[in-house]
Amino acid sequence: MRVFKFGGASVIDAASVRNLADIIRNYDEPLVIVVSAMGKITNALEELLNHYFKQDKKTTDSFNKITDFHDSILYELFPDNSKVFLKIQEIYNTLSQKLKEEPTMTYNFEYDQIVCLGELLSTLIIESYLNFTGVKCQWIDIRKLLKTDDTYREAKVDFLMSEQLINDALIKKGIYVTQGFIGSTKNNLSTTLGREGSDYTAALLAYFLDAESLTVWKDVPGVLNADPKWFDNTEKIDEMSYTDAIELAFYGVGVIHPRTIQPLKRKNIPLWVKSFLKPEESGTLIGNVEYKKLIPCFIFKMDQVLIDIYPPDLSFITEDNFQSIFEVFSRNNLKVNLMQNTAVRFRLCVNNDTQLIPKVVTELSDKYQVTTADSLELVTIRYYDHKTIERVVVNKEMILEQRSNETIQLLVKDLG
């Protein structure tokens, strides 16, 4: 059994759906294909949700934008009498009916009930096209198999129940098409696993099914040592250990979701990162490989905010302070990218979230003095040396530095 995962960029239009089918034809069954929502549809569904929650006049336009996008792909791939149109219309009807109802007060719950539909639409199209072109496969609603708690938008998987259901449903033959990112509670209410959670879904399926391998298909030739958007002359890494993959994912390498590696490592299942644009190329192997060290790897996070927290009487920062501070961050689901403390100050670097940061600052201000600084950049270098540090701090003001033997993080401000 192999598991393949295709993200939104790999199914962005009709041509990319055809390309996915061409890739699948080169592999023998059994095979599980995990697919994300098409293109930027998750973002479009989030926009629709926001209009729905506000009950404003743009809800209909947002709904039509989503249906028009999928319809344009359908009409290019299928004849008018194809049964897939009825299947897709059922999803449209579900969404339309939801939008006629008054939203509850719980944004995260409504998020999962609406945004999950993106994966259902994409996988119905993929499964129908594969069967239409002679690749026999079966569509699976992963929500019936991947069971979670009711922490909406960040649901935690019930491993024991999910493993039993998945092994009962996905026998070791044939080709299955299913969804990433989504699951459901024991009461069959839709949940999501957090943004970019499709990789995690694929890793869980590989783990539960004792898969031979997991392949994540991307628009890059493999894992690069830096994002080409921010860095010239990037290099592909041919092989990487599980440990380095976990470290790089934790610091923000976009190719790998942070939770993807651990289930694979537990069963020594290799992860391949390959290009759907050039599927014949070797890609990157992540697994039980050995080396002294990798080439330097660079991770850039832009638009960062530094939050400085001081006890009002300038007393020492203690464990009790840490507990109360992290409780506020956890309750508001604001994730920390870097932290550092002195005797009288605790510093945390976060992504610039214009909704969450003001809430967190307001809550913390009840007990502490709080200041913020924005428009910062966080640069992480794994396997750094003096030359690599000099390369990234040109024309930058150093705000904060933190290093270990293998990794350095630099919070800087652009002076340009």
Q: How many structural domains comprise the chain?
A: 2
Q: At 330, which CATH number?
A: 3.30.2130.10
Tell me whether residue 88 is in a domain.
Answer: yes
| Token duo for residue 21 | 């089918």
CA 107 to chain CA mean position, Å: 20
Sign of the Cα torsion 142, 146, 152, 154 reads negative
Model pLDDT, residue 44 = 98
The residue from 181, 211, 241 where one domain ends is 211
Tell me whether residue 252 is in a domain.
Answer: no
For residues 386 and 393, give the distance between their C-alpha atoms in angstroms, rounded to a whole number: 11
SS3 state of residue 42: helix
Q: Are residues 16 and 161 in the same domain?
A: yes
Tell me whether residue 221 is in a domain.
Answer: no
Angle CA 30–206–248, to nearest 5: 135
Q: Are residues 197 and 325 in the same domain?
A: no
Q: Are residues 303 and 202 in the same domain?
A: no
Pairing of strands 236-237, 239-241: unpaired
Write out the H or E segment, with its range, that includes residue 383: none
Which of 118, 285, 112, 137 lies closest to 188, judged by CA? 112
pTM for the predicted model, two decimal places = 0.89
Tell me whether residue 192 is in a domain.
Answer: yes
Q: Are residues 203 and 315 in the same domain?
A: no
For residues 350 and 142, give the distance between their C-alpha atoms in angstroms, rounded to a whole number: 33
Tell me whether residue 54 is in a domain.
Answer: yes
The residue from 148, 182, 211 where one domain ends is 211
Tell me whether residue 267 is in a domain.
Answer: no
Tell me whether residue 376 is in a domain.
Answer: yes
Q: Which residues pair with 147 in a beta bridge?
A: 184
Pairing of strands 175-179, 190-192: unpaired
Q: At 52, which CATH number?
A: 3.40.1160.10
Which of 141, 140, 159, 139 lies closest to 149, judged by CA? 159
> What percent of the chain is helix, strand and coil (3-state, nearest 5)?
40, 25, 35
The residue from 211, 245, 274 where one domain ends is 211
Task: Please give the chain's pLDDT, 416 residues, in tens.
Answer: 999 999 999 999 999 999 999 999 999 999 999 999 999 999 999 999 999 999 998 999 999 999 999 999 999 999 999 999 999 999 999 999 999 999 987 999 999 999 999 999 999 999 999 999 999 999 999 999 999 999 999 999 999 999 999 999 998 889 999 999 999 999 999 999 987 789 999 999 999 999 999 999 999 999 999 988 888 889 999 999 999 999 998 898 878 877 899 999 999 999 999 999 999 999 999 999 999 889 999 999 999 999 999 988 777 778 888 999 999 999 998 999 999 998 889 999 999 999 899 999 999 999 999 999 999 999 999 999 999 999 999 999 999 999 999 999 999 999 97
Tell me whether residue 264 is in a domain.
Answer: no
Which of 114, 134, 121, 64 lies closest to 89, judged by CA? 121
Residues 6+ apart with CB under 8 A from 194: 153, 154, 200
Helices (H), 133-237: 159-169, 198-208
> What's the domain range around 355?
297-414
